[in-house]
Amino acid sequence: MTDIILKAFNQTLYMVFWSTLFSVILGFIPAIILTLTAPDGLKPNKIVYEILSFIVNVFRSFPFIILLVILIPFTRMVVGKSIGTTASIVPLTISAIPFIARVFEGALRETNPGVIEAARSFGASNFQILMRVYVKESIPRMLNGIILLIISLIGYSAMAGTVGGGGIGDIAIRYGYQQYKTDYLIVCSIILIAFVQAIQMLGNFMYKKMS
Amino acid sequence: MIKIENVTKSFENTDVLKGISIDIEDHEIFGIIGQSGAGKSTLLRCINGLESYDSGFITVDGKEVNLRDKKALRQLQKRMGMIFQGFNLLERLDVYQNVALPMKFWGMKTNTPEAKEKILRLIKLVGLEEKVHAKPRELSGGQKQRVAIARALVLDPEFLLCDEATSALDPEITKGILALLQKINKEMGITIIVVTHQMEVVKQICKKVAFLSNGKVLSVGQPEKLFVWPKEREIRDFLREESDKLPETGLNIKLFFYGEGNQRPIVTMMSRELNRDFNICWAKLEDFREDVYGSLVLNIDPDDLDSVCGFLDKHDVTWEVIKK
């Protein structure tokens, strides 16, 4: 049992780590565009903002389990196969990008507009304001968003087990539920609870440290 | 010198500035005062190009403030430091880093010995040498504004624009900030433009003041001339001068004292000479920078008007009859 669970935990870590990393990098770009083109942004542009906003909303409203199925051809294109732990990183990342884009947009737009005006009054360029004011001031809030993302990705990774992704959630369902091994169910649950707690505590600690 | 000529600006359908003309000389402390919504902050933002204007001209030493010429505008903004009502410091940077920030926008090194020396000298100038590595949230409002002042000075500006810089501070702290601004003006020769709705600010530091109302300049001049004996209804309303409880009977006559006039016991002299008693029903003394200015209201018998006015004119006292 220890071996099975340890292997599954590693798979969960693997899926969550890579999908977090990719989605944070890829979600940062639309977040920046949304922030810039928002009505209160540095380059307000209603058309760009509304279109991008619509796309983000569409992807966010897809139930993950359906996204998983729809993306099978795309996943095969990217990683060469549609089943397995690595393959499940693709749908996890795709579902997380619009989520993190929204969360980052919210974090960035919370920046005090007075500080932005002060930077402009000193002759800062838009790019300088973006990096030195928006992003720099928002780092603790964005970090909170990443913690939120990791925790929901742990949940989604359990569903990814259905396409052979493996992981703790997969074990809980296959052994605990389908084979009536209650001990597996309990151990898996405890591990997930402890994992989420640890991530949240780490997040809170870092938020305090950084702000 | 900053020249503002016939500047207009409107947001959507409201005219915010309706033909403003003001000249601001070098090295003076110039006040722009008025009710909120008078257009003062908008005017200030037009001066350093944070806001565009629709028509007219604003020139700084002959160079026009033009938002389309980004390069020239940036150079101009470098010459003008600005401080704000809300301080607008970066929460995640400490005092030193906040002061150094404008240098980073200009690609200047902030870790050379010269840069360090300069930043620390400015922090010392505003009296925060003990707080060099404190974060804004550890500072009081007055201290935050001091950091903002040091930050506004770090690019060696010739002008300092203050947008309601003391409006969020209590009176005692305000005095300290005003004293600091005065020191900066005197020792560094920096021209300071103060936008405010607080009379105290104008009285304490401004050499010249423009009163804005409804997007227009109602009056420009020395604050003592403008506010001790204001002729304009709007300025009086703004000052909320005179008690509403002046006597209903008799005549109320207002006397103004400034300069030499302060030194003479006019009322008692008049009382003795005319052999009359007067009821002093309202009085006010005000400090304008170094001088004290005063005004008081006497209630007199309408029959005494001629003799009282004769006496006042003879002694060069400015007066007016308050209309009911």
Q: Are strands B14-24 and B2-11 parallel, antiparallel or unpaired?
A: antiparallel
Residue B243 has pLDDT above 60, yes or no: no
Q: Which residue of B has its CA nearest to A114?
A: B88
Interface test with B, best of A121, A139, A207, A208 (most B CBs within 10 A): A121
Chain A positions touching B80 (Cβ under 8 A) are: 121
Whole-model pTM?
Answer: 0.85
Q: Which residue of B has its CA nearest to A113?
A: B88
The 10s digit of each residue's pLDDT in B87-133 is: 999 999 999 999 999 999 999 998 899 999 999 999 999 999 999 99
Chain B positions touching A119 (Cβ under 8 A) are: 101, 105
d(CA A64, CA A157): 10
Residue A200 has pLDDT above 90, yes or no: yes
Q: Which residue of B has its CA nearest to A131?
A: B105
Predicted ipTM of the assembly? 0.84
What is the overall mean pLDDT for chain A? 91
Of chain B residues 185-204, which have a CB less than 8 A from chain A?
Answer: none
Tokens of B212: 């804005």
Chain A positions touching B72 (Cβ under 8 A) are: none
B50, B78, B102 ranked by CB distance to A117: nearest: B50
- Window from A12-26, A172-186, B151-165 with minimum mean pLDDT: A172-186
The 10s digit of each residue's pLDDT in B275-308 is: 888 888 888 777 777 777 888 888 888 888 888 8
The 10s digit of each residue's pLDDT in B16-52 is: 999 999 999 999 999 999 888 889 999 999 999 999 9
Confidence category of residue B224, pLDDT binned at 50, 70, 90: confident
Contact A124 B105 (CB under 8 A): yes
